[in-house]
Structure 1
């Protein structure tokens, strides 16, 4: 599933989808069994039966929902005849929620249904169900001890002082070379056979023949890459420039480009070129600022079907 690839970023969305699934499943069970309640009513009804009359504020705190959500749910339960609002016998200035006789009767018949739900959950989810409950317990405790928003904002503040650095190729980074380039190729064009060959073995197809690969690193995350491909006799191609679209504005692309140009010069290269596409206007503008000059024709014998731009480095 797509959301699973986003990990922590999609945690709320995934939990919401699971929550909706469980609500719908239990509602279907309740209907099949002739129960007179809905799954979303359960926390309030069960709490009132187990604890007794309580205020909306205390209820919200106990079941981990907002005051507004509990108040709206209480209104629905009052309309359904399951709950009544009454004066607090200990403090006449406030009201409390209490089960009606109808609510109490409805809950009193649900023991076998709840047992079936427990056992059906265990059968369907297996050990993962118990692990999920334990994980939820752990998450709730951790969030109570270390609130989430301040933790995220502290991390954001720390990242504000971090800069992109450029690191050379090492085999452990090969997957990032494929990932970052495949990301933009699939978004704008398609992955060609020449791309697949380079992705499959960057060390053998680029490094071993005398080329180089660079990576942009930000806070220990690889966010960009580019390659300097040796075409022979001092000729190099700047290729496979890819920056994660979620990390724009950090200057990663320009730092990668500068590193590749510096390497080309250090090797005493006599010609540096690149092939691109006219749709990639931002990239082309960056290449021009770095000293690449667009040629009137596409490069003879171009490697790529998508290439309609040929640029040669004329920088000082």
Structure 2
């Protein structure tokens, strides 16, 4: 499932999808058995039934929803004839919500259905039902102590304040050379045989022929890489440029490109070229700004099936 592949980034989306599934299942049951309420009404109606007349704020705090969401739901319940707004007899400045006879009558019919819901959830989810409830309770408790938005903002501040460092190749970084390139290759294309050979043994295919490899470090994270491959004396290919999708937008790609170009100049290279794909428009824009010029035809004897772009570095 796509959302599952996104991990923690899609936590809210997956929980919403799961919530919609539960709501939909119960609504299907309610409709099949002629119940006169909707599943999304249940928290408010049940709270007012158990606790009695309450303000929107009190209901929202009790069921863990925003004041705005409960207010909008209340509007629907008023239109459906399930809830009334009235002045609190004890405080005329305060408005409270109270159930109508229609709501009390509808709720009185639901005992057997709610029993069936409890049993059906257990039958469908098995022991996972209790695990889910326990985990929800644990998450709710933790979030009260450590609000998520504050934690995320603190982490973002830490990331943005960490210096980005460009470092040369060392054997301990070999796995990152493969990982970072495999990430974009598998997303947009496929890993070709030549890719697999170079990524698996960069010392043999890049360093020994006189090339160089660079990595972008952000603290302890290795977030990007690129290589300068010497094809023949003075002729170099900029290749195997990859930045971890999680850290895009931090300038790692440009820093790596600048490092490779600087190394090309340090070696007094004559020609620097690259092959790419027209599908990678952001990358092509970055190459163009750095001084690479698009050639009218693809490179003769290109090694890559995916390559339909050929660019040569021509600094101003």
Calculate the TM-score normalised by the size of structure 1.
0.79
Query: What is the DSSP-based 3-state SS (H/G/I as helix, E as strand, rest coil) of the residue aligned with 2:151?
Result: helix
Q: Name which of 276, 283, 287 aligns with 2:286.
A: 283
- In structure 2, the residue matched to 1:303 is 303
Q: Distance in 1 between matches of 2:55 and 2:183?
A: 54
Q: How does 1:109-258 map to 2 (within 5 A)?
A: 109-167=109-167, 168=169, 170-173=173-176, 174-183=178-187, 186=188, 190-191=189-190, 193-194=192-193, 196-198=195-197, 201-203=200-202, 206=205, 209-210=208-209, 211-231=211-231, 236-244=236-244, 247-258=247-258
1:241, CA displacement in angstroms?
1.5
Query: What is the DSSP-based 3-state SS (H/G/I as helix, E as strand, rest coil) of the residue aligned with 2:161?
Result: coil
Taking a change above 3 Å as real, the CA distance of residues 72 and 254 of structure 1, as seen in their structure-2 partners, is closer
1:227, CA displacement in angstroms?
2.2
| Structure 2: gaps (5+ residues) | none
- In structure 1, the residue matched to 2:91 is 91
Taking a change above 3 Å as real, the CA distance of residues 107 and 265 of structure 1, as seen in their structure-2 partners, is same
User: Residue 225 of structure 2 contacts residue 256 of structure 2 at CA under 8 Å; is this kept in 1?
Assistant: yes
Q: Distance in 2 between matches of 1:61 and 1:35?
A: 27
- In structure 1, the residue matched to 2:53 is 53
Residues 205-233 of structure 1 show CA distances to partners (whole Å, capped at 9, x for unaligned) of: 63675555433233444432212335466
Taking a change above 3 Å as real, the CA distance of residues 130 and 222 of structure 1, as seen in their structure-2 partners, is farther
Residues 124-151 of structure 1 show CA distances to partners (whole Å, capped at 9, x for unaligned) of: 2233332222222222212211222322
Query: What is the DSSP-based 3-state SS (H/G/I as helix, E as strand, rest coil) of the residue aligned with 1:160?
Result: helix
1:178, CA displacement in angstroms?
1.0
Taking a change above 3 Å as real, the CA distance of residues 263 and 66 of structure 1, as seen in their structure-2 partners, is same
User: Residue 182 of structure 2 contacts residue 191 of structure 2 at CA under 8 Å; is this kept in 1?
Assistant: no
Cα RMSD of the aligned pairs, angstroms, is: 3.4
Q: Does 1:39 align with 2:42?
A: no
Alignment coverage as a number of residue pairs = 306
Query: What is the DSSP-based 3-state SS (H/G/I as helix, E as strand, rest coil) of the residue aligned with 2:81?
Result: coil
User: Residue 194 of structure 1 contacts residue 303 of structure 1 at CA under 8 Å; is this kept in 2?
Assistant: no
Calculate the TM-score normalised by the size of structure 2.
0.79
1:249, CA displacement in angstroms?
5.0
| Structure 1: gaps (5+ residues) | none
